[in-house]
Every structure is written in structure tokens, then in C-alpha cells.
Amino acid sequence: MENQPKKVFEAFRKSMLAKTDDWMDLISEDVLLTGPLAQVSGKASFVEVNQAFFASIQTSKIYQLIENGDYIITQISTDVATPSGKIISLSVSEWYEIQDNLIQSLKVYFDTAELRNEMNPA
């Protein structure tokens, strides 16, 4: 089957926002996640660090999406509910590498200051 990065990304995003577990089937066993809050390798670790975060997402809007070969690069805005109930908005850049119709790696970039303040109140 031909690699279809955009379709894989869209299915991953749809499942994540619908709060279903279908996104887990789109992750490779040796996936690498690099982000400001976690750096993990392997599907089990990826699922573990993302389940709670994905559940906290309230809304998400794509501003830019670029497909280049096996890569999908996005600029998004995501509203996240914190444990205190406050909703914060994150401006996020994501770099997906998708091969064999599975996410092989995901690099996520965003300013963590407001999120860290909410998660660790003084």
C-alpha cells in the first residue's frame, strides 16, 4: 500500500479530537516523540505520555499544514483544560514523519511557561 502521510495524520487527529483510541493503531512500535514536556521512544511510552494530554484537549485549529514526502508539518492552536479547570491556549508546531502508514516520529514545539504554571501552581 502506498504511504499516505496526510491521510494518516488526518485519521490520527480525528481520533485524538474525538477522544477514541483509534489513534493508537497509527503509531509505529518504535515511534520517537520529542517535545518540551517529554522525550520517549516506543509505542507504549508514547501512548502513556499522550493519553492524559489528549484527553485534556478541548479544541484544536490548524493554521498551516505542509506535506513534504513522508513529513507533515503543522502550525496549530490547541485549547487545553488544566487540572484546575482553566482553559489555556497553546500555539504548537508539529513535525510528523510517517512511513508505511504509521507515525514513526513526532516532534512538538510550544512555549511551556503557561502550561507549567498551571500544572505546578506556587
CATH number (domain holding residue 80): 3.10.450.50
Q: Is residue 63 part of a domain?
A: yes
Amino acid at 27: I
Q: Domain total for the chain? A: 1
Are the C-beta atoms of residues 52 and 44 closer than 8 Å to each other? no
Q: Is residue 118 part of a domain?
A: no
Per-residue pLDDT of 27-62, as tens digits, reads 999 999 999 988 999 999 999 999 988 999 999 999
Which pLDDT does position 5 carry in this prediction? Answer: 97
Q: Is residue 119 part of a domain?
A: no
> Rounded to a whole number, what is the largest CA-CA distance in the chain?
52
Q: Is residue 120 part of a domain?
A: no
Domain of 48 in residue numbering reads as 5-110
Which pLDDT does position 113 carry in this prediction? Answer: 80
Q: Is residue 87 part of a domain?
A: yes
- Best CA proximity match to 19, nearest among 55, 44, 46: 55
Q: Is residue 85 part of a domain?
A: yes
Q: Is residue 117 part of a domain?
A: no
Per-residue pLDDT of 60-85, as tens digits, reads 999 999 999 999 999 999 999 988 88
Q: Is residue 83 part of a domain?
A: yes
Band (91; pLDDT cuts 50, 70, 90): very high
